[in-house]
Amino acid sequence: MEIRLDGFSFQYVSSQPTVVSEVSVAVASGACCAILGPTGAGKTTLLLAISGALGAQHSSGTGRGEISVGPHVFRPMPDKVLFPQVGLCLQEPQIMISGLRDTVYDEIKFSLENISVDPELHEEQIVSVMERLGIQHLRDRKPFTLSGGELQRLTLATLLVVQPPVLLLDEPGNSLDDDALSRLVRILRQLRGRTTVLFSDNQPDLAILAADSILIMEDGEVISFGDKKSFLKNLGEFKSSLPVRKWQDVIRVLSRSSSLRAKRVKKRFGLA
């Protein structure tokens, strides 16, 4: 499903400044787009708006423009949650735990129960999601006693298991270790072509590994929107809002080097 925003703006309270202003972007069906920017850039608000949670919760806020999700056009935004067409994983994982189920397995199953498929038929699906995120050993644990990273993996699992055509992730890389992060990258790559993914982050690594296009926001405005290649070429422009110094070094080394390795890296990131 394609996601398209047309001149979308939003302010929570009319007396306060807009948190998202005049955002126009389109993410093709099955593509993966990263939203990067510092705290307060409006990343979370944007994701909430697309998911429908913003329209459902903040009827007092004012929005302008339009958001389309697949064939459906919403002006200015959906006013109810679009689950299971759209799945959003909130930034703070402990909030995503329902509290209505006692084990990690049942917590994941809970998402399926809500879309009224026969959850018993989906054991395989649940087990496979747990394996892909490396939490199968936590199957019978109480969700609230998990460590920070384990909890983050669980919340990703509760969404991935329903396979929504549009997946929105708010800073999914927080508190993940090396293994979990590579699992996440692998999953995002596998979803390419089938699921439209938007995820936010405040540093560029995950975006460079897994995204097709990169949207950079600051103070609610779009600073830049383009493919990964142009992002990597113009890194210098973003150094005030993103930690890109190390990446600038990488690009510098890459441009000077003509070794086989360098060529492979360039090809991998579309810089060839």
Partner 1 sequence: MRFGTASKFALSATLALLAFFLPWQASLVLFLCVVILEIFSDTYKPISAPAHKAFLRFLAYLVSLGLFMVFINGLLIEGDDDACIILGLSFYPDGLAFGLNVACRLMLLSSAILLFFVSTPIKIFADLLGYFGLPQKIISIILLTTFYLEQLPARIRQIFWSQEARGAPIKGNFILRIRSFFSILSPLVLSSLVESVNRGMALELRGFRGQVPPSRPRDVRDFRLAYLILSTSFVLLLWQVWK
Partner 2 sequence: MSISLKGVSFSYQPGNPILRDINVDIQRGECVLILGRNGAGKSTLLKLLNGILKPTAGEVLVNGRNTASTPTSDLAAHIAVTFQNPGDQIFASSVRKEILFGPTNLKRQNAELLTDKALTTFGLGSKASRHPYDLLPAERKLLTIASAVATDAPFLAFDEPSAGLSHYERESFTNAFEELKTAGRTFIVVTHDLDFFITLATRVYIISSGGIGYAGSADDVLSQRETLRKLGVRIPLSERLLGMLE
| Positions in the binding site for ligand ATP (CB under 6 A) | 145-150, 175, 177
Closer of 174 and 248 to Mg ion (Cβ): 174
Give, in degrees to the nearest 5, the angle at Cα 219 between 214 and 220: 65
Q: Is 144 in the site for Mg ion (CB under 5 A)?
A: no
Closest separation between CB of residue 253 and partner 2, Å?
Answer: 5
Q: Is 15 in the site for partner 2 (CB under 8 A)?
A: no
Q: Is 148 in the site for Mg ion (CB under 5 A)?
A: yes
**Parallel, antiparallel, or unpaired for β 3-11 and 20-27?**
antiparallel
Residue in this structure with the two tokens 């708006």, named with its chain if needed: 49
Closest separation between CB of residue 265 and ligand ATP, Å?
Answer: 29
Closest separation between CB of residue 25 and partner 1, Å?
Answer: 22
Size of the chain, expressed as the number of residues it contains:
272
Q: Is 178 in the site for partner 2 (CB under 8 A)?
A: yes
CA-CA-CA-CA torsion sign (87, 102, 176, 191):
negative
SS3 state of residue 223: strand
Whether the bond into 164 is cis, omega within 30 of 0: no
Closer of 144 and 233 to partner 1 (Cβ): 144
What DSSP line would sit under 147-176, residue for residue?
-HHHHHHHHHHHHHTT--SEEEEESTTTT-
Q: Which amino acid appears at position 252 of this protein?
A: R
Site map for partner 2, 20-59, x if CB under 8 A?
-----------------xxxxx------------------
Using CB atoms within 10 Å of the CB of residue 267, give its burial: 0 to 12 exposed, 13 to 18 middle, 19+ buried.
exposed
Closer of 54 and 162 to partner 2 (Cβ): 54
What does the alpha-carbon distance between residue 44 and residue 36 come to, in Å, rounded to a whole number? Answer: 11
Q: Is 242 in the site for partner 2 (CB under 8 A)?
A: yes
Catalog residues that contact Mg ion under the rule CB under 5 A. 147-148
Catalog residues that contact partner 2 under the rule CB under 8 A. 37-41, 91-92, 94, 145-150, 152-153, 171, 174-181, 202-203, 205, 208-209, 240-243, 246-247, 249-250, 253-254, 257, 259, 261-262, 265
